[in-house]
Structure 1
């Protein structure tokens, strides 16, 4: 790999890292009032899209290891934000469902996410935003660790 390409790769990672840190700060600030943090936030977001997933599905969709998912679900359960229900067709599997408490804060949680998306795309055209989304998705598919 050439030195020039190597430097460019480092800069890409630098900007991704900055965005990640800033997003965690913003999301934590916005959702902490609901006793949620940025690590728990993404699980709720995924369940808002489709409630009743099992832990393995959540891990796969969020690209998080199963142990982390189990710990986060346990914390969310302790906070009465989700409940685990044994799958009727596979007793080894738990389905994760949102509770009334998590449904009550859904609009606020989604608004925080929308606000973050507005902030990071504020100076982008619709075409640039779509290109960025496609490129990030493409890059994400390259990383399987």
Structure 2
């Protein structure tokens, strides 16, 4: 029996293909700067972050293992793409350096361009519906 491609069993397969494609969007920028995919979420999140975060809070916001966060941040700190400073309460906080901000902006622009291409098959109404569905699912994670 051939699988019914409308079947719910195909959802993980389709999501897997989509995730592979989404992760590949950053590859040209990462290659240009000698970075890996592990760094994308940290750079992009810190670029749009308007609050002071330490490594634990960053890890919590991204839903990422603290050990992975530590490894990624150590590499970004070593390359001066992320800076660790101390706030008034003596808490260590993370922020992007100027170069880190440039790379994060480039990643965001590349992602937007590629997402626009990917979603061009959807109507405006379908895009809104997709965004709402993804938001709803994400809130349960």
Alignment TM class, shorter chain as reference: 0.7 to 0.9
* TM-score (normalised: structure 1): 0.81
Task: State the partner residue of 2:137.
Answer: 139
Question: Helix, strand or coil: the match of 1:53?
Answer: coil
Q: Which aligned segments of 4 or more residues in structure 1 are displaced greater than 6 angstroms?
A: none
Which among 112, 115, 120 is matched to residue 114 of structure 1?
A: 112
Q: Does 1:77 align with 2:77?
A: yes
Is 2:75 aligned against 1:42?
no
C-alpha contact 2:46 2:95 (8 A) present in aligned 1: yes
For 1:95, the equivalent position in structure 2 comes to: 93
Q: Using the TM superposition, give the Cα deviation of residue 142 of structure 1 relative to its aligned residue in structure 2, in angstroms.
A: 2.8
- Aligned CA distance change for structure 1 residues 102 and 40 (closer, same or farther; 3 Å): same
Distance 2:105 2:68 in 1: 26
TM-score by length of 2: 0.83
Most deviating of 58-67 and 39-48: 58-67
Question: Which sections of structure 1, spanning at least 5 residues, go unmatched?
Answer: 1-6
Number of equivalent positions: 136
- Give the number of the structure with larger relative contact order, counting CA–CA contacts within 8 Å between residues 6 or more apart: 2
Partner of 2:22: 23
Q: CA deviation at 1:38?
A: 2.2
Looking at structure 2, the residues matched to 33 and 94 of structure 1 have their Cα atoms a distance apart, in angstroms, of: 30
8 Å contact from structure 1 (residues 53, 95) kept in 2: yes
2:105 counterpart SS class: helix
* 1:103 to partner: Cα distance: 2.5
Q: Conserved in 2, the CA contact under 8 Å of 1:27 and 1:37?
A: no
